[in-house]
Structure 1
Amino acid sequence: MLSEAASPTLSDGHAVDCFVQIGSLTKVVTGTVLTRMAASGVLPLDDPLDRWLPTAPRTGITLLHLARHTSGLPRLPPGRLPRRDPYAAFDRPAPDRLLPRIDTLLTCLPGRAEEYSNLGYAVLGAALTAASRMTYAELVTEYVLRRLNITEITANPDPAQRLLAPGFLGRPRKPWTTDGAILPAGDLWATPRAAADIVGDQGALPMPPKTSGCTLMTEIWWVSECPRRGGVAPAISVPARRCHTKHLMFKRLMFV
C-alpha cells in the first residue's frame, strides 16, 4: 500500500522498485496521449480514423469513439485466441490485415453503444503512431512521462527487475506476449510508485466523463488483477456512491 501519510506497506513479494504489468491502466496512458496530442494541435479528438489509417471507407469511426469504447469494435481481435498466450499472434502488422475490412467487425454503428474493446485501443494506438510518426513508446514518453517527470514506466523493463506472479509450485509465471499491436491496450510495465503517480495526478490525467465526479483519495492499493496472467493493478479508494462501476478508460481499476 502506498500512502502520503506513511511509508509503503509491502507484502506477498511486492517491491516498490520492481516492475509489474499494469494491464488496462495502459489505456489511461494511451487516452492521455490522444488528449495531449489534441491539445498540442497535432489532431482533433474527433478525427476520423480513416484520416490516419487505411481502413474501409466511411466507417464513421473517430479517434474519440475508440478512446471511449464506442467505436462498435468488439472486445477482442477476430479469430481464436490461444488460452495460454492469446495476443502472441497479434503482432505489429496485425492491424494492417484487419483495417481494410474493419467495417465487417463492427457490432453496432459507431457512437451508438459502449463496448469495452482491447481491439479498439490497439487501433487507436496505431492511429496515434501514424499521425505522429513516432513509436508508441516515444509517444508515451513525449506526451505523458516526461511532462510528469516519471521514468519508471516502460514497455520493456529489465527482466531482472520484473515482478512476476507465482505459478505452479511457486515458479514465476511467464507473462503474456502483449508487446505487439495490443501494446496500447494493456502491456506497459510500471513500478507501484510510478503507477501511483499516474493515477494520483488528477491535474495531469483526464478523467473520463462518467467518472469525473469521483474524488481520488491518497491511498493506492496494489492488488492482483488476473491470477492467470500474473498481472497486477492499483485499487483506488473512492466514495462508492459517487463512482460509476462501468467507465470508459479505467476498465480494470478496482474501486473499493
Structure 2
Amino acid sequence: MPEPVLPPTARLLLARTARAQRDGRAPSLVAGVVRAGGLAWSVGRGDVPEPHTDVQYRLGSISKTVTAVAVMRLRDEGRLGLDDPLDRHLPGTPLGDRTVGQALSHLAGASAESPGGWWERTPGGSLADLGLRADDVVLGAARRFHYSNLGFGLLGELVARLRGASWEDVVTSEVLRPLGMARTTPRPAGPAAAGTAVHPWADVVLPEPEHHAGVMAAAGQLWASLEDLARFAAFLLGDTGDVLDPGTLEEMTVPAGVDSSAPGWSAYGLGLQVVRVDGRTLVGHGGSMPGFLAGVFVDREEQIGAVSLANTTSGLDAVVFGLLTDLRTAEPRVVEPWRPSPSPVPLDVLGLWFWGPSPYVLRAVEGALLHLGPLPGRTGRASRFSACADGTWIGLDGYYAGETLRIAEDHLDLGTFVFTRTPYDPEAPVPGGVDEQGWR
C-alpha cells in the first residue's frame, strides 16, 4: 500500500484540485497522486458519485499508450521490429513504407485525423471503411513530429492482425487485466460520468455523444476509473509486472519526435509524451475526447505520479502538473543511502582522459555502469555505458547512445574518437597522428 500524504499536503492538493474544478467549470473532476504502487491521495469535486475512485471517465489518447505497450510486447517477442515497414504487417495502406517506430512516435507523416466524419463524434467502422488514399500521407517519413490519431488507429489494427483477435481483446488480456485494471473497458460500464460540453458564456451544459470508434478505437476508446489510472501510473513508474520488460518501458520514454508547437520542452517517445515541467522530465499522456479530459504523468526520478479525470470537453488546465509540483515540494523524496559497490572495471581505468586537448572523466556509477563526461564546470558530450558480453560497452544516452566504447590500455576508442591519458598522446593511436615536434 502506498504511504498516504501528510495532512498539510492533502490540504494543499485539495485546494489546487478544488480551484481547478471551479475555475475550469468542470461538472466533475477526480484527481490523485501516486507513489509506491497506487493512490496516496485522491479527491472528487463536483457532481461525482461515491466512491469517486471507481467512477469511469473516458481516457481519450491515454489509450494510445496502452496500444503502444501491446505493440512493444510484439516487438519483444520478435514478432515485429520497430524499423519494419507497416506494409510488412499491415499491407495495403498508403503509409506502407513508413515504419512501426515512426508511427509510434508520430513521425510517420500520417494525417492527424482519419478521413470521413470527425471520428471522435461519429461511429467508426473497419480499416476498409476508412478508404485511405495517398492524400492521407501529409509529410515525408521522419521529417517532423506530426501528431496522428490515424497512425495509432493503424497500429491498433496491426496488433489485432498479428494476435488474431480484436484490439479490445488484446489490450484487455495482455495489458489491462494483468495490471489489475478491471475497471478499464472499451465502453462505459457504470458507474460512469456523462460526457458534457460547457457553454463558453453561460453555466449550462450539453451532452456529448458516445459511440464505438471502430478501427480508430486504439487512438482514444478506453474508459477507466481513477483507481485504474493510478495503477497505470504505477506501471509507468516501473511497476511493470509481467506486462513489459522494465528496459522496454525505459526505451519508450526516450524522446524521438519533438513537438515544436508546445510551450516549453515537449517531445514524444514510443507512445508516451515526454515533457519538461518545472525543471523535471515527466512522462505519460494527456487525453481528450468530446466530453472528457484526462491526464497521467509521472516523475520517474522522484517516483511519484499524478492522475486526473474530468467530464468536460475543454476549459480545464492540466491539473496533474501542479499536483506533482505540490507533492514534490511538500514531501520531497528521501533517497536511499549511498553504499559502496564494486567498480565494473579496474580502478586504474577510471579518471582523467583527454579527447584532443579537452579533459574528460570516466567514472563508475550506480548500476554497474560507466559514465564518460567533461570535467565539472566544462561543457561537452556525456553518456552512460552498459557492459556487453564481449567486453565492450554500449552507450545508453546522450551523444553516444548506441555507440560502442572499447577500452584499451592506453586509450579509449569511441565511435572513431580516441581518448588518451594525456592530450594528444603520441604513443596512442590518435587519428591523423601527432606532430613529431610535440607541444611548443
TM-score by length of structure 1 reads 0.76
Contact map agreement 2:187 2:212 (CA 8 A) in 1: no
What displacement does 1:10 show?
1.8
SS in 1 for 2:177: helix
Name the structure 1 match of 2:44: 10
Amino acid at match of 2:306: I
The letter for the 2-side match of 1:208 is T
Structure 2: distance between partners of 1:43 and 1:209: 20
Q: Does 1:218 align with 2:304?
A: yes
**Other-structure match for 1:96:** 128
TM-score by length of 2: 0.46
Other-structure match for 2:194: 164
Larger RCO (alpha carbons 8 Å, 6+ apart): 1
Over aligned residue pairs, what C-alpha RMSD do you find?
Answer: 3.2
Q: Match for 2:65 among 19, 28, 48?
A: 28
Alignment match, 2:17 = none
Cα 1:188/1:233, change in 2 over 3 Å: farther
CA distance in 1, matches of 2:316, 2:225: 12
Tell me the distance in 2 between the aligned counterparts of 1:106 and 1:100. 9
1:133 corresponds to which letter in structure 2? G
Q: Output the amino acid matched with 2:231.
A: D
* Cα deviation code 1:56-79 (max 9, x no counterpart): 578411221111111111111124
One-letter amino acid matched to 2:46 = D
Higher strand share: 2
Amino acid at match of 1:154: T
> 1:198 is aligned with what amino acid?
F
Does the aligned pair in 2 maintain the 1:20–1:232 contact within 8 Å?
Answer: no
Percent of counterpart pairs with the same letter? 24
Gap regions ≥5 residues in structure 2: 1-30, 256-273, 276-280, 283-298, 329-440
> Of Structure 1 and Structure 2, which has the larger fraction of its residues in helix?
1
The counterpart of 1:77, out of the listed 105, 110, 114, is: 114
Moved more, 62-71 or 142-151: 142-151
Distance 1:58 1:47 in 2: 12
Radius of gyration: which is bigger?
A: 2
Q: What CA deviation, in whole Å up to 9, does each residue of 1:202-228 have, x standing for no partner?
A: 22373432239532453524154x833
Partner residue of 2:227 out of 184, 193, 197: 193
Mind listing any 5+ residue stretches in structure 1 that lack a counterpart?
240-256
- The Cα of 1:170 is off from its aligned counterpart by 6.3
Aligned to 1:208: 253
Please state whether the residue corresponding to 1:147 is helix, strand or coil: coil
- Residue 136 of structure 1 pairs with residue 170 of structure 2: no
The DSSP-based 3-state class of the residue aligned with 1:113 is coil
- Quote the residue 1:125 is aligned against: 156
One-letter amino acid matched to 1:209: V
Equivalenced residue count is 231
Secondary structure of 1:2's counterpart equals strand
Query: Cα distance, 1:43 vs. partner?
Result: 2.1
